[in-house]
């Protein structure tokens, strides 16, 4: 989901009007260099993006369905027609249950489905193509603390079946993520270092043990992330973060 330009509340449904389709990133994230995709283990240094803010807002307002439309205007600026662009439904706990994106005239572009355990942990998720055929599937296992221990990632189109294993320190910080092929071969290894609960360094190595990416993080006096220096095989670059009063 993306930043919403306007919002109209109608009962427990939120209708979102948009003037263009927005690109949505693929559902299964094959491990980034910052943290594990686990909403139950947010750290104080995490940046909460607009997508998560909108999802938290929907949970607080007990939203059942959220719909986004695309509006078409003529040259005179008059509204011609509207078409459904996205639709998301939530379960009783406020968790995402089904997300559908449309490509026009009510035809489905793709669909995501989500399933949770009794503690609210995401244990299974899947993507479907425009023909409503399953394209990818994710299956996760958790410990008693809600930490994700294992994630299977199945891609039917590319016929891959990978698995990620997560390791944590005593404080519950994710310190190592190893990704394996269906044959048990190591594909990548992400090692994260912390200081006072903040991520200082994250190193990703490929199957040969060679460093493919390294990230150094810098924080201000309020423990807010202000800079990331990244080294990759293609070169180095930096990302700077700034904050407003809120």
Q: What is the pLDDT of residues 147-166, one digit of tens each?
A: 999 999 999 989 999 999 99
Q: What is the pLDDT of residues 66-110, one digit of tens each?
A: 999 999 999 999 998 999 999 999 999 999 999 999 998 889 999
Provide the percentage of residues in the chain whose pLDDT is more than 90: 72
pTM: 0.73
Instruction: Mark out the alpha helices in 61-158 (DSSP H runs).
Output: none
Residue 57 has φ and ψ, to the nearest 5°, of: -65, -40
Q: What is the pLDDT of residues 169-192, one digit of tens each?
A: 999 999 999 999 999 999 999 999
Alpha-carbon span 128 to 219, nearest angstrom: 40
228, 215 Cβ separation under 8 angstroms:
yes
pLDDT at 50: 86
Q: What is the pLDDT of residues 119-154, one digit of tens each?
A: 999 999 999 999 999 999 999 999 999 999 999 999
What is the chain's alpha carbon radius of gyration, rounded to the nearest angstrom?
Answer: 20
Q: Which of 94, 136, 140, 151 is nearest to 117 (CA)?
A: 140
């Amino acid at each position: 989901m993306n930043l919403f330009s306007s919002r109209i509340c109608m009962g427990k449904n939120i209708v979102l009007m948009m003037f263009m389709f927005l690109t949505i990133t693929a559902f299964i994230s094959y491990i980034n260099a910052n943290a594990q995709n686990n909403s139950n283990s947010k750290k104080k240094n995490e940046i909460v993006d607009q997508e998560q803010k909108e999802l938290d807002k929907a949970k607080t307002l007990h939203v059942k369905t959220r719909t986004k439309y695309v509006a078409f205007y003529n040259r005179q600026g008059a509204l011609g027609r509207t078409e459904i662009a996205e639709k998301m439904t939530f379960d009783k706990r406020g968790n995402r249950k089904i997300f559908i994106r449309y490509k026009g005239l009510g035809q489905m572009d793709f669909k995501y489905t989500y399933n949770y355990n009794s503690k609210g942990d995401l244990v299974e998720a899947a993507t479907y193509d425009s023909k409503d055929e399953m394209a990818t599937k994710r299956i996760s296992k958790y410990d008693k603390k809600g930490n994700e221990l294992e994630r299977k990632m199945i891609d039917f189109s590319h016929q891959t079946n990978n698995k990620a294993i997560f390791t944590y320190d005593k404080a519950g910080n994710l310190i190592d993520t190893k990704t394996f092929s269906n044959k048990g071969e190591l594909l990548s290894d992400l090692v994260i270092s912390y200081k006072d609960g903040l991520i200082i360094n994250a190193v990703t190595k490929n199957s040969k043990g060679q460093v493919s990416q390294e990230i150094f993080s810098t924080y201000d006096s309020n423990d807010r992330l202000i800079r990331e220096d990244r080294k990759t095989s293609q070169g180095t670059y930096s990302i700077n973060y700034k904050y407003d009063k809120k």
